[in-house]
Structure formats: C-alpha cells, structure tokens
Amino acid sequence: MNETTIHPTTTTQREKTSEVANLIDKLNQIGTPLGKCLTGKIYRGLKTGFSKAFVIDAVTREKLIAQDANNADLIKPWLRGRDLRQWQSPVASAYVIVIPSSANYPWPWANAADAGEAWQVFEQTYPALHAYFRQWENELHQRHDQGKYFWELRSCAYYGEFAKPKIVYPESSKWMRACYDTSGALCTNTTYLLPTEDLYLLGILHSKIFDWYARHEFQAVGNPWSLTGRLRFLAHSMEKFPVAPLGQATSIRERVTTLMGDDTLKQSQGKEEMDELLFDLYQLTPLERELIHADAKLHSFTEKYAGAYAEVPDEEE
C-alpha cells in the first residue's frame, strides 16, 4: 500500500474551434451548475494519514471482530478508485478502521487528563484494537493527519454523508466511472462523493455530453484525448458542469436503473438511447450532435482497455 501522489498537470487540450467554444457556451447557458443541484457540497474521501494501519483486508477484519464483537461498529467498507466501474454497484475490496477524533466525538477517553490516560482508557474500551495499533505506534505518532490522539482519524465534519446514498467517483481516470452506493461505505481521499439519490445525475455523468465537456474544460494528466491520458474530476471543475433541465429526468432515471442491471451489450444500446434523450434536453442541433459524436470516436474508451492501461494507484493505497 505505497502512497503515490498525483500532481496537477495542465491539460493538453485539442484546439478549441469556434464551434467548440460556442457549444460550451450554449451548454453553460442551458444547464444549471452541478454544485447548485446538490443538497450539500461535493465531498472528498477520507485521508487516514497511514493507510498501512487503518486500511485492512477481510481476514484482519474478521480476526479483530472475533476478538471483540464491538469492533464491528468501527470497521467499515472502504471504497477505492479500483472498486468503481460504470453502471455497477461498487464492491469494497478493503475495510477501514474508523475512530473519529475525540475533539469531535464523545469517546470514553475524550476528556482524559493526558495522552497516557487516554491510551489506557482506549485499551479498556477496545482491547483488541489497542493491541493492533501498538505495532504501528511510532508511525502513527509521526503522521500529520491524525485526531486528538494518534489512534484516531483527523477531524471530519461530514462523516454522516458517507452513510447516506451517494454517487462516488475517482478523482483521476481515463473516463468517468461513477457509482451509486447505498452500502454506507467510506471512500479514500482519491475519490469524491456527491450527496444525492438522484440517478438522473449518474446518467449525466456517464453521458457523451459530460465526457466531451470534461475533455475540453477539465484539467488532465497528459493528453485527455489519448488512451494514456487521464481526466481530473476535481470538485471545483465538477461543480461548474452544466446539468440539463429536468424535462425528461424520469426517462433518464428509468434508463439508468435498467443500465445498472444490464449486460454489456444491452448497456451499450441503452446508453445510446439515453445520450439521445440528453441531446434533446440540451437542445443540440444535428451539427452539434455530430461534433460530439466525432470527438467521441477519437478516444473510444471502454473498460476492455483497463488491463492494458492500468489506472494510477490510489494515494491512500
């Protein structure tokens, strides 16, 4: 689980013709910024500061729970970029030990006189976790991102958002791989979450219009039009994306629900139908539709390339 940092890189954009610039302006005028379509904000996933201790596999989870059943309440599914696939419900490949900072949570050790007393109370409360963290004590003390005490995660004001239905997507990817999650999983800091139950937004994020707009307007690592380039779906870019009016939102939602349960062939057909509905919602002319179709042929990214062109490892892995 080595940590790899993705550094911002200026997008290598294709030249913006007047047709492209005009269509971008049109989309911005017709749509509502995504940030204004959410009940909350776009949240980033959590940073543990030392994933080697906090991020565990299923075997370690079962061992800790067998030692103390109370540990189950503190061990949550952990979604990483590698777990996210278009139209699929995400399945966590790891777990995370979640002990929020006692600066914001009333743990039994929160009001201890000093760190030594808090450590003793933690041992009395969660003896198995206490023994587990002892092996990482030096590293946990040294990390920058920690809570009031070294065995805690740093303060976070939106833990509750992870428990709600949400759309999760990776910060950096060759194409958008958003998923709808209702499992209450937490997410690594190389993912973002949208606090919403609206599958209309999931459909838009997987549309040709969104992909086309992102490749022209978003930051990227390398050339976003090449097979090896990756888009960066940063919150400040995503919140500006223009979401089409809800004219046929019900039809879009129904298609998204179907796409989430279909096989690959049916997904391809259903996605084409959804794209056409969205073209109508954005009031695209035949020439504007052809412009988007033509650009889409330049990159034609599909999941079948994932093996040959691996994604960048998540930072917290």
Q: What confidence score (pLDDT) does residue 1 get? A: 36
Kindly report the pTM of this predicted structure.
0.86
- The pair phi, psi for residue 10, each rounded to 5°, is -65, 135
Per the structure block, which two tokens stand in for 112? 């201890």
Of 5, 41, 21, nearest to 195 (Cα)? Answer: 41
Q: Report the DSSP beta bridge partners of residue 220.
A: 231
Per-residue pLDDT at 17: 86
Q: Is pLDDT of 160 > 80?
A: yes
**What pLDDT is stored for residue 15 in this prediction?**
64
Give the model confidence (pLDDT) of 92-136 as tens digits.
999 999 999 999 899 999 999 999 999 999 999 999 999 999 999
Give CA separation, 4 vs 47, 53, 60, 140, 255, in Å.
Answer: 13, 17, 24, 19, 37
